[in-house]
Amino acid sequence: DRLLDSRDGLRVPVILAVCVAACAAPDADFTPVAFDRVQPDLFETPGAQTNSWADYDGDGDLDLFVGMRYTPKRLYRNDGGRFVDVAAEVGLADLEDTRAGAWGDYDGDGDPDLYVGYPVAEGTPNRLYRNDGGRFTDVAPGLGVDLVGTSRQPSWVDYDGDGDLDLFVALRDQPNRMFRNDGAPVENGAPRDGGVDSAAGDAPSWTFTDVTAESGLGDPRRTVGVAWFDYDRDGDLDVHVSNQNGDEDAFYRNEGDGTFVDVAPALGINHPGRGAEYGSVAAAVTDFDNDGDLDLFVATYGPDILWSNNGDGTFTDVTDPATLGVDYHSTSAVWGDVDHNGLPDLVETSYLSGIAAVEDHMFKNAGGGRFHNALPANLLEHGPSHGVAWADFDRDGDLDLSIANNDEAGGTHHLYRNLLAPDAAARSLQVAAVDATGRSVVPGAEVQLLDHDTGRLLGTRLIDTGGGYCSQGAAPAHFGLPPGIERVDVRVTFIAGGERSTVVREGVLPADYHGRWLIVSRGG
């Protein structure tokens, strides 16, 4: 995406000037970070836009989906830390301009399915690829979710708390859409397996109902980014909607009865009065200050903004003291503890068509609510970017970084390995929050770690509900641990039906889970 007026020439000096301020000298205890490119020849193709991680084949490591611009989509299967593009053989390598991709197990069969969105200029209906044991079948037409429009962020969330994943689709050219998952038809008292009609071969029989009108989520503004989380801690998922072209942002509070109310103006987080060349793009959620509640960063065409959750259903703008209030023409952002000091860091990507001076940033969390730009020099070589996603693909304990750029002239989709020292990388724990069957990731679940000996809160993370650039992954929550932590207590809170039910694992030794995930199910 780019601005819709001719002010590019005016904005570039601003971008360069604020970068000088943001790159000021860090604190004395600042620890540099380093990354190395992975399989450069494989990840060199230009035109990448959205990227997201999930274990699509159930082998215990994370695989990478990349949506491309007029070249085949990529699905990189992770074979023990080496990648192979298997998109063609599994049925994903179509050629359309792919803008969005979200993983979610809509049919509850234990493997993540993939919803893909396209721009309206293509006239291509969105696709829902059902994962059939590692091969994919488009079932969108039969389920009524084959939308045609300028699609941006799709999200799989259980908005109504009935235990299955519903589908929200953000659109930039028409009202957003909400589809309630009503499950599979019942045969002999049990759901039909996988929602497949045995009498009709692969004809999908799963049911989605368009509840856009009754839910109140049909926002007609030009939406790009979406993030769902229980901001007011009342037991259901609320949604922040990032809007473009001067439109105000929205924050829809879930009323618990299937309806939503926009409370952004009342909360003061709606960005009123901005010009048509400005707007919000991506939203990223974490507990950046480790106070136990989830905070919100909004990447914008204009000054980015960090909203600190006050814990009482309100937010405070802490952008300036955090030194994040700068104008990078941002497209995306993700949180992750890159150096295992126990504090989430922020990667922000930027893009402005034809302007190479727009750089990405890696803001290290220095504690006390302050951040410093620490992007290694070799990460600048990929140019301005769209998609960005963290994942520990090599299972060494630290977070690696996938970055996508849709510039056809020189954009790539590089993958970078985090070179954190092995002993520091091992100071970590990754927690997968899954449903009562123990099979399907639960987006929107909250994961907390506490020091077992002192009870001190070490961090709070959100299972992804929409992040990066128009993407949603199905990865575990990652925690870097500061030195001296031996045992931790893990608290996973599942959000559903007006209740926040918490499952606790006490006295966990992170070393026992090095190279694998701690799996916590809703059923305990």
Q: Do the Cβ atoms of 260 and 215 come closer than 8 Å?
A: yes
292's tokens: 């136990």
Task: Give tens-digit pLDDT for 475-501.
Answer: 999 999 999 999 999 999 999 999 999
421 phi/psi in degrees, rounded to 5? -55, 145
290-304 b/e with 16+ CB inside 10 Å = b?
A: beebbbbbbbbbbbb
Distance CA 346, CA 334 (A): 6
Residue 308: what pLDDT? 98
- Rounded to whole angstroms, how far apart are CA atoms 335 and 215? 30
Strand order through the sheet with 315-317: 279-286, 295-301, 305-309, 315-317
Give Cα 64 distance to the centre of its chain.
Answer: 13
Q: How confident is the model over 114-130, as pLDDT tens digits?
A: 999 999 887 899 999 99
Assess contact for 219 and 249: CB atoms under 8 A.
no
Series of mean pLDDT values for 10-residue runs along the chain (524 residues): 34 34 43 89 89 96 94 96 98 93 96 95 92 96 95 96 96 96 63 41 71 97 96 97 95 98 97 90 96 96 94 96 86 95 94 71 94 85 80 98 78 90 97 95 98 98 92 96 96 96 98 97 88
What pLDDT does 376 receive? Answer: 87
Q: Half-sphere exposure of residue 264, counting CA atoms within 13 Å on the CB side?
A: 19
* Domain range annotation of the chain: 8-423
pLDDT at 219: 94
pLDDT digit string, tens, across residues 423-462? 999 999 999 999 999 999 999 999 999 999 999 999 999 9
pLDDT digits (tens, 9 = 90+) for 239-294: 999 999 999 999 999 999 999 999 999 999 999 999 888 999 999 999 999 999 99
Is 2.130.10.10 the CATH number for 8-423?
A: yes
Q: How far apart are CA 457 and CA 85, in angstroms?
A: 40
Look at residue 9 in the predicted model and tell me its pLDDT: 34
Q: What is the DSSP string of 16-31?
A: HHHHHHHTPPPPTT--
Helices and strands (DSSP H and E) totals, the chain: 6, 38
Q: Burial, 94: exposed, middle or buried (Cβ in 10 Å; 0-12, 13-18, 19+)?
A: middle
Cα 278 from chain centroid (whole Å): 22
